[in-house]
Amino acid sequence: MKLNCLIVDDEPLAVKVLETHIENIPSLKITGSCHNAFMAMEALTKNNIDLMFLDIHMPKLMGHEFLRTLRNPPKVIFTTAYKEYALDAFELDAVDYLLKPITLERLMKAINKIGITQAVDIKEEQQVVDNQGFVYFRADRKMIKVGYHDIVYVESMKDYIKIVRVADKPLLVKQSISSLEDVLPANLFLRIHRSYIVAINKIAAFTNHDVEIGGQEIPIGRLYAHQLEKMTGNI
């Protein structure tokens, strides 16, 4: 499943940088690029756009002003050289706010906030779609794709996290567990300890004190016990 992307930016170099980065991300497909808001409006009318990379400073109509005119906008990631519009961006429910020059690593962090979920009206359908999503991790000098369904649990190890997977060997990544928690779908994963995130559908059994998952017993932190209660209704 790919997200159809539209780039809206009046700077040719900025467009080229984004196009180059996006070509490295299998979950994204560039549908087109536009130099101003009016071209973007036409592109949105003619194409099914899932994600729009939107510059702030453009001729005639600013990016955030353009977004306010849309009744049913796609997901938006703002791309700009100006910090002062960040508040406007998040008031408009933007996925992220990227400052130029944009690196591939920073773009990947923004994309990870989306996964590959698509808007649906039925909660059960949403859960199915979410479970088919994935996240990229930088390890061994490359970006490694890991499906949500492949993750058993995540363990924090100081400056690194260990991703324990169903079939492959554990993946060691330099990243904080809190930043990963922000990315993973809350209906699929649960933080049960300051050092652990578990896949809800991989939990084999649990008590008030620990969770059995992947052949391991993982402690439930006192501050996180209510999370498991909320998800299961059984403690």
Q: Domain boundaries in the chain?
A: 3-112, 123-232
* 129: pLDDT strictly greater than 50: no
Cβ atoms 38, 60 nearer than 8 A: yes
Q: In the structure, what pLDDT confidence band is assigned to residue 230 with cuts at 50, 70 and 90?
A: low
Cβ atoms 41, 52 nearer than 8 A: no
| Residue 82 CB neighbour total at 10 angstroms | 12
Distance CA(157)–CA(163), nearest Å, equals 11
Please report which residue ranges of the chain form alpha helices under DSSP H.
12-22, 37-46, 63-68, 86-91, 104-112, 123-131, 177-183, 225-232
Cβ atoms 92, 78 nearer than 8 A: no
Strand partners, 4: 29
Structure tokens, 61 = 């109509």
Q: In the structure, what pLDDT confidence band is assigned to residue 140 with cuts at 50, 70 and 90?
A: confident
CATH number of the domain at 3-112, please?
A: 3.40.50.2300
pLDDT tens-digit series, residues 165-176 = 998 999 999 888
Q: What is residue 15's predicted lDDT score, i.e. its pLDDT?
A: 93
Phi, psi of 202 (to 5 degrees): -100, -5
Q: Provide the pairing of β-strand 151-157 with 160-165.
A: antiparallel
Q: What is residue 205's predicted lDDT score, i.e. its pLDDT?
A: 84
pLDDT tens-digit series, residues 205-229 = 888 788 899 999 999 988 887 766 5
Average pLDDT of the chain is: 84
Q: Between 230 and 12, whose confidence is greater?
A: 12
Structure tokens, 14 = 């900025």
User: Which 3 state secondary structure label does DSSP give 153?
Assistant: strand
Q: Which stretch of 34-48, 76-90, 120-134, 183-197 has the lowest confidence by average pLDDT?
A: 120-134
Q: Which stretch of 10-19, 33-42, 86-95 has the lowest confidence by average pLDDT?
A: 86-95
Task: Give the residue-averaged pLDDT of 26-48.
Answer: 94
Q: In the structure, what pLDDT confidence band is assigned to residue 122 with cuts at 50, 70 and 90?
A: very low
Domains 3-112 and 123-232 fall in the same CATH topology: no
Phi, psi of 109 (to 5 degrees): -60, -40
CA–CA distance from 184 to each of 48, 113, 117, 131, 162 (Å)?
25, 8, 11, 10, 15
Return all residues near 98 (Cβ < 8 A) that are at least 6 apart.
Answer: 77, 78, 79, 80, 106, 107, 110
Q: Which stretch of 54-58, 100-104, 132-136, 147-151 has the lowest confidence by average pLDDT?
A: 132-136
Task: Give the residue-averaged pLDDT of 19-35.
Answer: 91
Sign of CA dihedral 68, 69, 75, 78: negative
The answer, as to whether pTM is greater than 0.85, is: no
The class that CATH gives domain 123-232 is mainly beta
Return all residues near 179 (Cβ < 8 A) that are at least 6 apart.
Answer: none
Task: Give the residue-averaged pLDDT of 103-113.
Answer: 87
Distance CA(127)–CA(221), nearest Å, equals 26
